[in-house]
Structure 1
Amino acid sequence: MFDRSIRTLRSAVAGLSLAALLAVPAAAADVTVFAAASLKNALDEVATAWKAETGKEAVMSYAASSALAKQIEEGAPADLFISADVPWMDYLVERDLVRKDTVVQLLGNRLVLVAPADADAKIEIGKDFDLLGALGDGRLAMGQVDSVPAGKYGKEALTSLGVWDQVEGHVAQAENVRAALALVATGEAPFGIVYETDANSEKAVKIAGVFPEDSHAPIIYPAAVTAEAKSADAGALMDFLRTEKVSELFTKQGFTVLSAH
């Protein structure tokens, strides 16, 4: 049952980005944004604010940063890329697939352990904490640990705290952080590792613990205009992302604003 649920979630989430690209071609004036799945709530609000201010559309496509970077490499039509970590932005920079002079460190986030909202779960996260005991017969929901930024941060944190070897065999790896969040929200997994902003966006989960910031690399969301951007408004939307109005939207969702005008 659990494995079937994971397969269903993976199929649904993996299709989100591709479906967004294939459904209706963006108008020439629209700006197409490829963004990490954890940004969905915030960027949906940004797109609404952008349209209210300019009358123009920002077409958002959400998935794991790894999947989006690969799509851009394969020629997918994106004007902006916002990654949930620096390495996937660097991947595109090294291949001249984004404009290096436009790269900014836009946002920061925190890594948390979540549990279903009705669970009696409060865990003090620290060196050698008993995560395996807390899991019992359940699974730990995470983004794919070798590619999805939230999964990579999570594995790094658990390794540095000395518990990865114990829980590795109990991990349910999801296509992106929102899919991992869904496993906990639906009760398929008793715990999951996601960003604080993801936890804030889902009423069916609660934060059971916060990972020490020194247990993993800083969580940074870089943004850039792609090398093959077609929209004349790509740069304007990048500037809009750093305005005070948008910074307030990001802060409301729980992000830390790193780059603002």
Structure 2
Amino acid sequence: MMNRRSLLIGFGAAALGGRQALAAQRGPLVLAAASLQESMNAAADAWARLGHARPVLSFAASSALARQIAAGAAADLFVSADEPWMDDVERRGMIVAGSRANLVGNRLVVVQPASAPAAAAKLPLGRLLANGRVALADPASVPAGRYAQASLTRLGVWQSVAPRVVRGENVRAALALVERGAAEWGVVYATDARASRLVRAVRLLPANSHPPIRYPLARLRAATSSDAEGFRRFLLSGAGKAIFARFGFMAP
């Protein structure tokens, strides 16, 4: 007769096997920067059309996602909108060695509500932003906000703009403030402006006015999906990068 200990071991093995089978069946859980919503969904759809389980996507500010990972979030892949937050996760020993790579790049633009009178195209930036609220992702922690503050500082307008800054918890929240008229101006990624019909891009900020905008991708050590590495490689492939290019992303 099977003793109690053997029975418990059998139940434990069955439970472990069930969890592993479930992990194999589901798509990888991807924690991705908020600015990747449309492009990452398109990539997930393309991966599913190849016969794989569709990845599960969770979008937020890179800072929030990095903190979730540090707290033990059981995710498979992380795509940050800047290198410092990926550096933070890597320093904690939470990514798979050799899996980190730069996925795409981006640019910054000044936007205004599409319903507002079009700004003068050649107006100096200081005069352009001289009046009204300016929406940014929170510069204290969110990559888009950090890039925006660095650019406006380099261009000599940050001191005049800072008292009128309205902060969003991520770049899409900042974009939403402009979309609904809660801010007269915003500084967001070029891809965010492209994704919205409710804003108008009025100024492309110089690429040399802020650190290079790079989105690093890595597989997490907590990964359980058997498709995690395959999807990571797909995103970095020519086919994957062509999807991001359709949404306005650049080579990193």
1:245 is displaced (CA, Å) by: 2.0
What SS does the aligned partner of 2:222 have? coil
Q: CA deviation at 1:131?
A: 4.2
Residue in 2 aligned with 1:176? 170
Q: 1:188 — aligned with what?
A: 182
Q: Does the CA-based 8 Å contact 1:81-1:223 persist in structure 2?
A: yes
Aligned to 1:253: 247
> Quick one: percent identity of the two aligned structures?
45
User: Which blocks of at least 5 consecutive residues in structure 2 are unaligned?
Assistant: 1-21
| Residue 87 (1) aligns with residue 84 (2) | yes
Q: For residues 84-122 of structure 1, what are the alpha-carbon distances to aligned partners after superposition, in whole Å with 9 as ceiling and x for unaligned?
A: 000000001111111231000110000000111132224
Letter in 1 for 2:197: K
- Supply the distance in 2 between the matched residues of 1:157 and 1:122 (Cα, whole angstroms): 20
AA of the residue aligned to 2:177? L
* Worse-superposed segment, 192-201 or 240-249: 240-249
The CA RMSD measured in Å over matched residues stands at 1.4
1:165 pairs with one of 155, 159, 162: 159
Structure 2 counterparts to residues 124-143 of structure 1, below 5 A? 124=122, 129-133=126-130, 136=131, 138-143=132-137
Checking the alignment, whether the CA contact within 8 Å between 2:129 and 2:185 is kept in structure 1 is no
Aligned match for 1:113, one of 102, 110, 114 = 110
**Structure 2 length as normaliser, TM-score?**
0.87
| Residue aligning to 1:70 | 67
CA distance in 2, matches of 1:231, 1:200: 33
1:179-207 per-residue CA deviation (whole Å, 9 max, x = no partner) reads 10011111111110100000000011110
The number of residues matched between the two structures is 228
Deviation at 1:54, TM superposition (A): 2.4
Structure 1 unaligned residues grouped into runs of 5+ = 1-26
How far 1:244 sits from its partner (Å)?
2.2
Distance 1:49 1:155 in 2: 35
Does the alignment pair 1:55 with 2:52? yes
1:226-259, Cα deviation, whole Å (9 max, x unpaired):
111111111100011022222221101000134x
Higher Rg: 2
Distance 1:150 1:80 in 2: 20
Letter in 2 for 1:121: A
